Amino acid sequence: MSFTENSGIFAGAHENGINDFITAFFDARPRYLHFGSSFFVPTTTINATNIPAISLGGLAPEIHFEIRLDRPKIDLHPDTFGFSIPPQSNEFAIEIQAVIQVGCYGKSIKDSRLTAKKTSIRLCGRGEIDRGFNDFGFTICEVVLKDIRPDDLGEALACLLRQIANAMLSGLRIPYRSIAINIDGSALGTLSPTTGPEILDNQVQFRGNFA
């Protein structure tokens, strides 16, 4: 069976290549791995993103916190890396180590010094391709935190961390033409996917035509 089938072009990126794209993205834009309120991240830079502290409506000082994420690694279906949650059909699996710090005030009401309390946690998740008109990204649909009790605490934290992890991935949009090694252009016209992108055989694949 041909690669292109009824289309003019087939492009496939193996999970090793996708992880290379991920490495290049987070090397260039590390702030997507580091979020913190002003106590931890005074201002947004290339290396870190400043986010608002949690306000208590003026009733008490704001709650400052910081989240640092390791650069993620993605496993495209079928399972290759043996992640805790293997990818299902047309899914990817992801595992991310996260370090969370919370700024804690002293026990006395007069003690306004903040001390950082740190913990680390490993996210195990799975997700789907987020299809765009000219590019695609990755959206985590489910995160599981192991060994968190009670279960509903684990679920609540998983929901929180899933949203943070999706913020981490939000900037990673890979153009179709990058997967197609820029083979389009004036010679072939504009590349327009007709099927996919989908996850199959450890690849992100799409087929398309040139307009």
Binding site for another protein (CB under 8 A): 1-4, 7-14, 16-17, 20-21, 23-25, 27-29, 31, 44-46, 49, 171, 173-175, 178-183, 186-189, 202-203, 210
Shortest distance, position 78 Cβ to another protein, whole Å? 13
Shortest distance, position 153 Cβ to another protein, whole Å? 34
By beta-carbon proximity to another protein, the closer residue of 21 and 105 is 21
Identify whether the C-beta of residue 142 lies closer than 8 Å to the C-beta of residue 162.
yes
49-50 and 34-36 as β-strands: parallel, antiparallel, unpaired? parallel
Helices marked H in the chain — which ranges? 15-28, 151-169, 176-179
Shortest distance, position 170 Cβ to another protein, whole Å? 11
By beta-carbon proximity to another protein, the closer residue of 29 and 122 is 29
**How far, CA to CA in Å, does 9 sit from each of 88, 109, 120, 149?**
26, 67, 44, 50
By beta-carbon proximity to another protein, the closer residue of 16 and 115 is 16
User: In terms of Cα–Cα distance, which of 49, 154, 39 is closest to 104?
Assistant: 39
In eight-state DSSP terms, residue 32 is G
Rg (alpha carbons) of the chain, rounded to whole number: 21
By beta-carbon proximity to another protein, the closer residue of 51 and 179 is 179
Shortest distance, position 32 Cβ to another protein, whole Å? 9
By beta-carbon proximity to another protein, the closer residue of 18 and 140 is 18
Shortest distance, position 103 Cβ to another protein, whole Å? 23
Identify whether the C-beta of residue 69 lies closer than 8 Å to the C-beta of residue 104.
no
Shortest distance, position 101 Cβ to another protein, whole Å? 21
By beta-carbon proximity to another protein, the closer residue of 148 and 188 is 188
Identify whether the C-beta of residue 161 lies closer than 8 Å to the C-beta of residue 143.
yes
What is the rounded CA–CA span in Å between residue 100 and residue 116? Answer: 10
User: In terms of Cα–Cα distance, which of 93, 92, 94 is closest to 204?
Assistant: 92
